[in-house]
């Protein structure tokens, strides 16, 4: 998460970190980005001044900051298979962002279906990477965070 738009130039300049994250993804390390994490894992982030900054490139989308569109609200999502939820499980979360995504969310590679909104596809899954605008409410289910820790541990053991 966070606010990558505030440090987009610094994030883009840190090529070593972007290379490390891509290498971790290639080796199967589970990577989960929410909102700002989605923006950072994407291809590019255009800040409020219209300057484009290269990001990690693991998500096929570009984030564009906008002053006139705020997405805000609670969401109930059904998983399509993420590090926190098996396919078909659901949980509550929220969205809060001033950015939009250029690039289509492919229903086959989406992370979630947002329930009650025409079942729209949301987020991205590719290999060990999951990125979404939805912030999950980890307190809603006590098993969510331990599941992610277990998946990270299993990935570490598999690489050892």
DSSP states of 13-25 as a string?
H-HHHHHHHHHHH
Asked if 109 and 130 count as a contact pair (C-beta separation under 8 A), the reply is no
pLDDT tens digits for range 23-66: 999 999 999 999 999 999 999 999 999 999 999 999 999 999 98
pLDDT tens digits for range 101-155: 887 778 889 999 999 867 789 999 989 999 999 999 888 889 989 998 998 898 8
Tokens representing 151 are 């998946």
Q: What is the pLDDT of residue 18?
A: 97
Q: What is the pLDDT of residue 107?
A: 83
Asked if 64 and 50 count as a contact pair (C-beta separation under 8 A), the reply is no
Q: What is the pLDDT of residue 4?
A: 92
- Region of residue 90 (left: phi > 0; alpha: psi -120 to 50; beta: else): beta
Q: Is 35 a catalytic residue?
A: yes
Q: What is the pLDDT of residue 1?
A: 61
- Binned at pLDDT 50, 70 and 90, residue 70 comes out as confident
Catalytic member of 35, 38, 64, 91: 35
């Amino acid at each position: 998460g966070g606010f990558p738009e505030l440090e987009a130039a610094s994030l883009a300049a840190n090529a070593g970190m972007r290379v490390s994250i891509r290498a971790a993804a290639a080796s199967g390390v589970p990577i989960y980005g929410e909102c700002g994490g989605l923006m950072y894992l994407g291809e590019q982030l255009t800040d409020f001044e219209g300057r484009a900054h290269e990001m990690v490139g693991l998500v096929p989308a570009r984030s564009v900051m906008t002053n006139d569109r705020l997405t805000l609200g609670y969401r109930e999502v059904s998983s399509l298979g993420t590090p926190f939820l098996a396919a078909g499980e659901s949980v509550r979360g929220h969205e809060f962002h001033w950015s939009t995504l250029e690039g289509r969310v492919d229903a086959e590679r989406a992370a979630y279906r947002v329930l009650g909104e025409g079942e729209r596809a949301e987020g991205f899954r590719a290999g060990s990477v999951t990125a979404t605008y939805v912030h999950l409410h980890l307190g809603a289910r006590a098993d969510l965070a331990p599941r992610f820790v277990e998946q990270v541990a299993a990935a570490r053991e598999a690489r050892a």
